[in-house]
Structure 1
Amino acid sequence: MNYNNIHNVYFIGIGGIGMSALARYFKANNKQVMGYDKTKTEITDGLENLGVKVHFNDSIDNIPTRFLDIESTLVVYTPAIPKAHQELNYFIDNGYKVLKRSVVLGEITKHTFCLAVAGTHGKTTTTSILGHLLNECGVEVTAFLGGISENYNSNLILNGTKVTVVEADEFDRSFLTLSPDLACITSMDADHLDIYGEAEALKDSFVDFSKKLKLNGKLFVKNGLPLKGITYGIEDDSDYSVKNIKIIDGTYVFDVKTPSTTLDNFKFNLPGRHNLSNALIALAMAVEYGCPPKQLAKALASYKGVKRRFSYPIKTENLVLIDDYAHHPQEINAVHQAVREMYPNQKVMAVFQPHLFSRTRDFADEFAEALSQFDEVLLLDIYPARELPIEGITSNWLLDKMKHNHKKLVEKPEIISEIKKSNAQVILMIGAGDIGEEVKHVKEALSVAS
């Protein structure tokens, strides 16, 4: 596609994290950008502050005259949009260029030097670290992030078009539209079984992704995954490995063994071995790209994280409030490991909102086991996202599976009062639904109380 002929870009589902990054990209490239989303959020507010018009009711009357020019208008949609969506069907029926977000991302990046991060966990943090490292090392990079970077207060790093960094999403096999020069796979745990049907089909898609590399491209794989590539791991015999780990004042200090040498004295401020692994693979890819080790060490030390990835809305001596996007049992386990490492003697309450009926059904026993590790658990109703309810699959059903004496099913308005009843010093709010919108209310209430 010749994007020079495109003057208008219309997004259906513009408030999605990946969609909004593309919207910001096209806006920065002087295109007329507008779109629809179901719900007004901080992300849509941010777009509107940039001059992007966003509406929240599905009606073809919302499409302005200039966007009716078929030849100069591109329509981008997310698979989460229902098939009956009026605006989407109008554009399809009238012959517009209508493309999935992943296809557009593939088109934008294929003529760049592309670094892609794939895996069922760790994509967003790894992508944001990698984008930050390259940017701080002076690389002309555009990075499309799956979360809001604390360093840039954005899900887009825009500093040139020579190099791109992208999150390679396995949902709906979206990552097969990419053709990266360097790619990594962080994990291949079963997920999205509503799309894939079974775990083997998901694994096969990662194999297919590994074959999308450009000629002479390089693949990095977490040690232990059933794929050939440059390996990485923590304190093991991988090609790239973290060594000599220390925690000093809540900061990881460590060395990195590469295939040819050892780079010493790196500092990283995010807690949890899973985040340390994310930092390692970002460093490995940046080293292979050619970034100088001294600049990388300085850049990593300045990395602040991603909103809703072990973020600290409150961090005081007497009370800690942590916000995290974890929505898979393995991610909850990783959050648990991190919080116990950082706060080994504190009582921890987890407030969890399950995401998707199908995921709750497919991993119910694993969710119950992961959540039971916390001292207290508050469980919200399942966030449906794109799904209709499944008979018998409820949060109460999940709660019954938990072997725990301090668990309770709550509604959103009850969260604050239930937290105040507890003497837990560490409060975790976790999930990929709209629980993130509740965090600001909890922060405000607890800040006033303290």
Structure 2
Amino acid sequence: MSPSVPPALDRPHFIGIGGAGMSGIAKILAQRGARVAGSDHRESETVDALRALGVTVHIGHDAANLAPDTTAVVVSSAIRPHNVELAAAGKRGVPVVHRSDALAALMSDARPIAVAGTHGKTTTTSMLAVALTALGLDPSYAIGGELDAPGSNARHGDGEVFVAEADESDRSFHVYSPEVAVVLNVELDHHANYASLEEIYQSFETFVGKIRPGGTLVVSADQPGAVELTSRVRGIGTLRIVTVGESEHADVRITRINPRGLTSEVTVLLDGRLTTFTVSVPGRHYAHNAVAALAAGVAIGAPAGNLAAALAKYTGVARRLQLKGEAAGVQVIDSYAHHPTEMAADLEAIRGSAGDSRVLVVFQPHLFSRTRELGAEMGAALALADASVVLDIYPAREDPIPGVSSDVVIEAARAAGGDVTAEHDKTAVPALVAGMAKAGDLVITMGAGDVTDLGPQILARLES
């Protein structure tokens, strides 16, 4: 695939360029020769990686950050309307482009694989990127997490395949037209944008309807929401549907998942042949992600046997049960899980590999709207841990909702038999956890907010 930059994105300015999704698009544009600039609220390793590519990054938001020759301002749904740079763009008549539209433009001359679902998008997209790269196909990719180093969330490749996450949270995945789409699961989430599960189904139906003629939908045969979606989209034009999972009716059927410590050995029946490969992260849900990646890669034309072997080269992605280190005999692991299904899956995976070790969780609820709707389920999931510390809600893009706090999570966890400590002062957590942990324990920092910053601090406290 020859590099191309849409004229409107020749000299773009990204507001919030340090974010996972935004930085990836900025990186690909820079690698294709665009003169990229942007702003973020703080310095970070991601910002350093962008600067190494020649990207101009301003810290702090200011109307003066927009260069006179800026061709477009790129935003995500997290950018508030009153942002000073966004307001300046409006006054100057500079086009404003949503992140998803920018990504769609970059994929327009490629063979896109778009990975969607309430959970598992980053992992599955990463697995595909790593495996297709190992096969020498040189794909482009845009991932919502780092593979192995800051700035590794995206890359422009010279191959014809482009692998990307398709984010349903704000319906922005409706702008993509993939050749292959993956739907891992469908559940109610993002309550600020969806009023009901029915709205979620309708949104995913729209996404599936954008698959290119003759394209393929890879979809779970096990998860109830995905099964319902499949029943709704059968018969769409020339769409080819490939179901994956442990169901005996799955087109790509998982016949065995054999846990082996922090890895799994997975056997699948594909086109009448059994194929066994290793998944280098623990947990049944990650095995399912790997099989979905296998089916998507085969749908785009990769040989099944070679692709299965290449999937074993995937060793994880930042914040997805990522081992941060060990001190005083205590391992500290970071988890991005913030929806109850993800929380339970990660805790069950750790339980399956931890043996007799105690599992301690530091959990930070993410978003007031999600906590209002799913706080009780979050608490029930936390009860799977031996003990947990619950922080205040991380607001992200939301304003507080009266009466909604992390107390709903704490009360539900205690009602389910969980040993829970409330901690409103995040700076007190490292000492608190170090006092709780004993040699042989596993500590998990869990949530989509800045709880991830506590892992190194807990390790430092354990070492002191």
TM-score by length of 1: 0.93
The AA in structure 1 aligned to 2:429 is I
Matched, 1:432 2:448: yes
CA separation of 1:204 and 1:15: change in aligned 2, threshold 3 A: same
Does 2:325 match 1:309?
no
* Alpha-carbon shift at residue 437 of structure 1 (Å): 2.0
Q: CA deviation at 1:126?
A: 0.3
Look up the match of 1:145: 143
The one-letter code matched in structure 1 to 2:106 is I
8 Å CA contact 1:348, 1:427 repeated in 2:
yes
The separation in 2 between residues aligned to 1:36 and 1:102, in whole angstroms, is 18
Partner of 2:198: 200
Give 1:331's aligned residue.
Answer: 342
Query: What secondary structure is seen at the aligned counterpart in 2 of 1:149?
Result: coil
What residue number does 1:31 align with? 34
CA-based RMSD = 2.0
In the alignment, what sits opposite 2:237? none
Stretches of structure 2 that go unaligned for 5 or more consecutive residues are 231-240
Distance 1:61 1:367 in 2: 43
Change beyond 3 A, Cα 1:389–1:249: closer
Task: State whether structure 2 residue 377 is matched by structure 1 residue 366.
Answer: yes
| Alignment partner, residue 82 of structure 1 | 80
1:157 counterpart letter in structure 2: R
Q: CA deviation at 1:405?
A: 5.5
Which segment drifts farther, 392-401 or 218-227? Answer: 392-401
Aligned length: 442
The answer to whether residue 200 in structure 2 is matched with residue 184 in structure 1 is no
Output the amino acid matched with 1:256: V
1:155 pairs with 2:153: yes
Q: What SS class does the counterpart of residue 145 from structure 2 fall into? A: strand
Partner of 2:134: 136
CA deviation profile, 1:207-229 (whole Å, cap 9, x unmatched): 11110100101111111421333
- Give the TM-score normalised by structure 2: 0.91
Large movers: runs of 4+ above 6 Å = none
Letter in 1 for 2:179: D
Check conservation: 1:40, 1:56, Cα contact below 8 A: yes
2: distance between equivalents of 1:153 and 1:387? Answer: 27
1:255 and 1:262 in contact (8 A); partners too: no
Matched, 1:409 2:409: no
Question: In structure 2, what is the Cα distance between the partners aligned to 1:282 and 1:106?
Answer: 21
Q: Which amino acid aligns with 2:252?
A: Y
| 1:42 maps to amino acid | E
Q: 2:435 aligns with which of 411, 421, 424?
A: 421
Q: Identify unmatched segments of 5+ residues in structure 1.
A: none
Corresponding residue number in structure 2 for 1:125: 123
Partner of 2:57 in structure 1? 54
Shift of 1:320: 1.8
Deviates more, 1:42-51 or 1:260-269: 42-51
AA matched with 2:140: T
Structure 2 match to 1:226? 228
Q: How far has the Cα of 1:148 moved from its partner? A: 0.2
Cα 1:392–1:361 shift into 2, 3 Å: same
After superposition, residues 246-265 of structure 1 pair within 5 angstroms as 246-258=258-270, 260-265=271-276
Equivalent-residue separation in structure 1 for 2:406 and 2:451 (angstroms): 15
* Cα distance change on mapping 1:365 and 1:435 into 2, 3 Å: same
Q: Is the 8 A contact 2:333 2:442 kept in 1?
A: yes
In structure 2, the partner of 1:172 is 170
Aligned to 2:405: 394
2 CA distance for matches of 1:290 and 1:183? 14
How far 1:8 moved relative to its partner? 1.1
CA deviations 1:50-81 (Å, max 9, x no partner) are 33222232211223xxx3125xx222111101
C-alpha distance in structure 1 between counterparts of 2:317 and 2:197, whole Å: 29
Matches within 5 A, 1:205-354: 205-223=203-221, 224=224, 225-228=227-230, 229-234=241-246, 236-258=248-270, 260-314=271-325, 318-354=329-365
TM-superposed CA distance for 1:345, in Å, is 1.5
State the distance in 1 between where 2:371 and 2:8 align: 45
CA distance in 1, matches of 2:120, 2:328: 29
CA distance in 1, matches of 2:18, 2:261: 37
Q: Distance in 1 between matches of 2:297 and 2:150?
A: 19
The alpha carbon displacement at 1:316 in A equals 7.8
Range with bigger deviation, 437-446 or 165-174: 437-446
1:422 positional shift: 1.4
Letter of the structure 1 residue corresponding to residue 29 of structure 2: F
Give, in whole Å, the separation in 2 of the partners of 1:198 and 1:227: 15
Deviations along 1:189-247, one digit per CA (max 9) or x if unpaired, are 11001111222111210111110100101111111421333111136431112223323
3-state secondary structure, aligned to 1:32: coil
Return the offset for 1:392: 1.0
Contact 1:235–1:243, Cα closer than 8 Å, also in 2 = no
